[in-house]
Structure formats: structure tokens, C-alpha cells
Amino acid sequence: MDNINIISKDDFLSFCDDYLVFLERFCTDVEIRNWCLNYDGYNYDGNHQELHDQIYKDFMINAYERKIVFPDSWMIWNEDLDRRWCQKEEGFVESLEFEEILALISIVIRSDRMADDLAENIGDGTLLHLFSAAKAKALGE
């Protein structure tokens, strides 16, 4: 994994400082969570524009600009990891290395292009779980 250009642990922790509270709020506030879980970008009616903008014009753009999302994630992620992720295997995320969690975060955020599910992955706590696990790894916990 040495030849793969990923974000440093310090830069990742800085991103977490900026966005973990955002992720917590979006999956714990009932109204916001429900909006996220029912969001349909293909039929977006303009309701809750501020929530939409926080996800798509702030969080997502910054995730790309600050290299949370990286193009070489496919070099880390493999079929076995994908199978275990899809099976929701207990303790799976926590068993991953920091770089593997970053690859999964990258894949989850990038999947919005095909499935338009970034809001859902925020509302259901998926990204909060991934970022929290990666933060613990970055801190050596």
C-alpha cells in the first residue's frame, strides 16, 4: 500500500474534527435522519435545501478536495472485503486496517454517483461508523 497516495492520518483527523459532529447530528436528529433516509436525488423537490447543501455542497465536495475520497481505493479493496462488508459481518469494520477503512469510505461516498445514496449512508449511520472506526485506527486505539 506504500505506492498508493492516501490522506495522512493527521489530515484525516483534521477532517474528522470538522465533520464528525455533522455526521452525528445527521444520524441522531430524528427529522434530519428521516429526511436523509427518504432522500431521492432523482426526484428532489427542493425541500430542506440547507440539508441538501450541507451534504452535497459541503461534506461531499470537501471529502473530494481533502482527499478522503481517493481514486486508488480499488487497489486496497478486494472481493473478500466486499463480501464481508455486504454481509454486515459483526466487528468487520473494526478489524480493518486504517487504509482499508479509508478505501471503504471512498467507495461509499463515490457510490453516490451510481445509486444516489450518500444521504442515506449519512442518515443510517454508515459513514459515522466508518469515520469513527478510521479515527480510532488513526489515533492508534
Running along the chain, 141 residues long, what does each successive block of 10 average in pLDDT? 74 96 95 91 81 92 92 78 82 92 89 72 94 96 85
What is the CB neighbour count within 10 angstroms for residue 58?
Answer: 13
- Is residue 3 domain-resident? no
CA torsion 85-90-91-97 (nearest 10°) is -20
Q: What pLDDT shows up at residue 115?
A: 54
Containing domain of residue 91, as a range? 9-138
Q: What pLDDT shows up at residue 114?
A: 55
Rounded to two decimals, the pTM is 0.89
- Is residue 24 domain-resident? yes
- Is residue 103 domain-resident? yes
Looking at the structure of the chain, the number of domains it has is 1
Q: What pLDDT shows up at residue 112?
A: 60
- 8 Å CB contact between 64 and 105: no
